[in-house]
Amino acid sequence: MVDKAIAEFRAALRSATSVMVLSGAGVSAESGVPTFRGAGGLWRRWSATELATPEAWARDAGLVWEFYDYRRRRMADVQPNPAHHALAAFEARWSAAGRELELVTQNIDGLHEQAGSRAVTRLHGSIWHVRCLRCGAVTPNRDVPITPAYEGAGDPDPHAHARRFTADDLPRCACSGILRPHVVWFGESLAEEDLGRAVAAAERCDALIVVGTSAVVYPAAGLIPLARRSGAVVCEINLSPTPATNGVDYHFCGPAGVVLPELLEGLPEVG
């Protein structure tokens, strides 16, 4: 039996022309992607909030790359889960029917793209891209280790022998500039172009699906009230209520990998 609220939101989707999805860490967690945030999320003695910062980079870029190299190693074998697949399949049917879908994600793991999603705006960048500090070029990069110097490095154990990395060990652009992870660090602004796309999608959409994010961090958090003010019906899919729950029309409790396939199955109905 399909839940009444699910049936209602499906009805909203049926009449929608434009749909936006805002996804966050909860979707990736079901694939086993470690976040290094919150309790127990430490790498050595640091949390992501301590190493994913411009200050940490300025202090010790070699250490920051060691942390990212470890994360890339951990993410390299991670596979998209049923939530990613449901969204990608939905996009294919939806756009074939001439309707519009914008997937805005806070995740940096590339799993939406790996599952086949195309219209993806990555608010926080991508762990599989690097950016040159000299020429600004952004390029895909799946090298693990990131340079030969990082072979065997990255042990998360707090008692691990800490290696020192020098500027010679860091990855370099063809222009010889130093490459950094193309991710938005704590304390940095989102790329204006990405945020602009997300804002435009929120203003345009008839329905917004918020999934796997507590959506408390601005500016992403502002997208939900913006979509509602612009007339969208909003649902949230999470394991438990979040600070955003009061501001949405529907809250679906459960794993994204279970709820999304049910919510999107067979939509839009054509013919």
DSSP 31: T
What residues between 196 and 225 interact with Zn ion by CB under 5 A? none
Position 19 contacts Zn ion (CB under 5 A):
no
DSSP 119-146: SEEETTEEEEEEEETTT--EEE---SSS
> Minimum CB separation from Zn ion for residue 181, in Å?
15
Q: Which residues of 92-128 are buried (b: 16+ CB within 10 A; e: fewer)?
A: ebbeeeebbbbbbbbbbbbbbbbbebebbbbbbbbbb
Q: Which of 12, 42, 78, 173 binds Zn ion (CB under 5 A)?
A: 173
Position 133 contacts Zn ion (CB under 5 A):
no
Q: How far is Cα 162 from Cα 120, in angstroms, rounded to an integer?
A: 37
Q: Which of 135, 200, 216, 253 binds Zn ion (CB under 5 A)?
A: 135
> Minimum CB separation from Zn ion for residue 135, in Å?
3
| Residues identified as active-site | 124
Please choose, out of 42-50, 98-106, 137-145, 248-256, the segment that lies near Zn ion by the rule CB under 5 A.
Answer: 137-145
Please choose, out of 85-93, 108-116, 134-142, 258-266, the segment that lies near Zn ion by the rule CB under 5 A.
Answer: 134-142
Backbone angles phi, psi at 130, to 5 degrees: -125, 155
Cβ distance 69 to 154 under 8 Å?
A: yes
Q: In the complex with Zn ion, which residue's Cβ is closer, 6 or 138?
A: 138
- Binding residues for Zn ion, rule: CB under 5 A, are 132, 134-135, 137, 173, 175, 177
